[in-house]
Amino acid sequence: MSTSRRRFLQKLALSAITLPILPSYAISQTNSRTAPHTQKPVLRVALMGLGGYAQLVANSMQSCTRAKITALISGTPSKLEEWGNKYNVPKHSRYNYENFDDIKDNPEIDAVYVITPNSLHHSQVIRVAKAGKHAICEKPMAINAKQGQEMVDACAAAGVKLLIGYRMRFEPNTLEVVRMRNDGEFGNIKFFQGLAGFRIGDPNQWRLNKELAGGGSLMDIGIYAINGARYMVGEDPVWVTAQETKTDPIKFKEGVDETIQFQLGFSNGTVASCLSTYNMGFLDRFFLNGEKGFAEMRPSIGYGPIKGRTNKGELNHPHIPHQTIQMDEMAGIILDGKKPILPVDGNVGLQDIKIIEAIYRACATGERQELHLT
């Protein structure tokens, strides 16, 4: 994770840093297959790609009741040793990118969480599926829809689940807004606004490399506004228009977008206006407007605490690290067949990639693009 992005998101999480670990989430790092207190099976997870975000996931998982780290995959031997010692992962459960297919023979692994650069997700998830393990993949799931479909198909063929790391789809204040909308408390939804952006730092990082990232801000931070529009409105868009602005072609080279404004249209008449950027700060806001009320979330996508208000007052669900909730909920999806309030399966991720591709086409042509997501 880039330094600037880390600062952007960590500023949103300052109050969470001092939050004590909740005792009810305590779990020891043992080989036990059953969670203490609940007597439900624990999801045994291999983390792939031991970078900045994986560190946040790993730390948050120490508070999970139903998920634990049992294996590591990295191309850096020193990280495997450091993380292995820190999280009590034995040497035989530490893999590199060349030999991780051997996870098929490791009964202490149920799922692999792929947290690597975007362009690597496709091949790595397919290898995970062929090894007979469930796959959790960071967003965006792939750099194009063709790859995304192949990932979905590979997991289906192998009989394993593919979940995408959409942590906001488990966040309590977000789900409260979804509940209110589902219950008709906002009336017919008319408008959504999603602002997502920060000033990116190091120009040599992989997020500014088209071969690794597949694009620019839209792939990284803009996808939150795309996905957010879908779960806040409660519908999928049927058309998109978009405009790209680039003020620094040296830093943001060909194929790496700096700033994109895009508009989404929904079959129920709702419209969405969204902004994705790597060159403006203080952009982390969702706004939903209906005939009877509204919901505003700011911050809406940072690591928390997420804050919001509606026409009926403030949203006040207590903050728990998003990755803690996400991994416990994903354990329920994988091990119990639990149906989440908001789906996070590979098809949801594939639909976001289709929208991203349409946005890029709209920028290139200046024309409205019709969407066919199913």
State how far the Cα of 58 lies from the Cα of 368, in Å rounded to an integer: 42
* Nearest to 150, CA basis, from 332, 301, 349: 349
Residue 86 is a catalytic residue: no
Single out the catalytic residue among 25, 224, 278, 303. 224
Q: Which of 139, 161, 307, 354 is catalytic?
A: 139
The neighbouring-strand residues paired with 215 are none
CA–CA gap between residue 301 and residue 286 (Å, rounded): 9
Q: Is 224 a catalytic residue?
A: yes
b/e 152-184 (16+ beta carbons within 10 angstroms → b):
bebbeebebbbbbbbbbbbbebbbbbbebbeee
CB neighbours (10 Å) of residue 101?
A: 13
Q: How far apart are CA 48 and CA 46, in angstroms?
A: 6
Q: Which helix (H) or strand (E) holds 245?
A: strand 237-245
Q: Report CA-CA distances (Å) from 165 to 135, 209, 325, 344.
A: 10, 22, 11, 7
Active site residues: 139, 224
